[in-house]
Amino acid sequence: ETAQDALCGVVAQGDNGEDGACRTMRKARNNQHSEDTFKSWCLSIGITKDSAYRLLQVSALMDGSSPRQRAILEALPPTLLYAVAKPSAPAELVEKVKNGEVSTNKEYQDLLAQIKAEKERADAAEAERDKLLGAQNRAAWAESHIQDVEAQRDAALADVQGLTEQNAKLKERADSAEAREEEAWKMQSKAEARAKNAEG
């Protein structure tokens, strides 16, 4: 509203008539064709649409400021004021400007670059951490998989050893049975030999 009033004030100073232009601007906010309507209105008062949006952003910044902060903001160079009024401006920097700690666009841009660089470093560190966590998760999975494979191998070896032992016992029994059979044959042969002697 304040920016609209300010912009309407610009119109009042011109020859286009305040009421019609302000109504156009207010209607434009809720209209499907608002961009074109707003752009036409801006051109009719001699400013660009981008300039009008910057003024609206400055108005929103002023609305959210105390009287002391407004006084500080009004004394700023326009480039700094527009930069601080952007919706993307970091809240911490906006507060520093509002409190008079930053008073030039160069200071603001330097601090903005530092914040961006810190954010990029933090993002890079987080990406690296995510990579490391991913690698650790893959290593843990591989370790778990290796342990599963080793457990399966050990079970298979135990099965083989059990089968070997069973096979040895079966072979021992078979050898024993063969020895008894051989003994039985010997005894039968002796018995036959005695039976022949007895007949004779």
pLDDT tens-digit readout, 165-179: 888 888 888 888 888
Contacts of 46 (CB under 8 A, 6+ apart): 10, 14
Q: What is the CB neighbour count within 10 angstroms for residue 149?
A: 10
CA-CA-CA-CA torsion sign (4, 9, 12, 13) = negative
CA 43 – CA 39 distance, rounded (Å): 6
Contacts of 115 (CB under 8 A, 6+ apart): 90, 92, 93
pLDDT at 155 over 90: no
Token pair 């843990």 is at which residue? 140
User: Is there a contact between 59 and 6 (Cβ–Cβ < 8 Å)?
Assistant: yes
pLDDT at position 200 is 67
pLDDT at position 99 is 92
- Which pLDDT band holds residue 76 (cuts at 50, 70, 90)? very high
pLDDT at 16 over 70: no
Higher pLDDT, 155 or 95: 95
User: Is there a contact between 52 and 7 (Cβ–Cβ < 8 Å)?
Assistant: yes
pLDDT at 22 over 70: no
pLDDT single digits (tens) 95-116: 999 999 999 999 999 999 999 9
Higher pLDDT, 191 or 62: 62
CA-CA-CA-CA torsion sign (182, 184, 186, 192) = negative
- Which pLDDT band holds residue 154 (cuts at 50, 70, 90)? confident
The residue type at 111? L
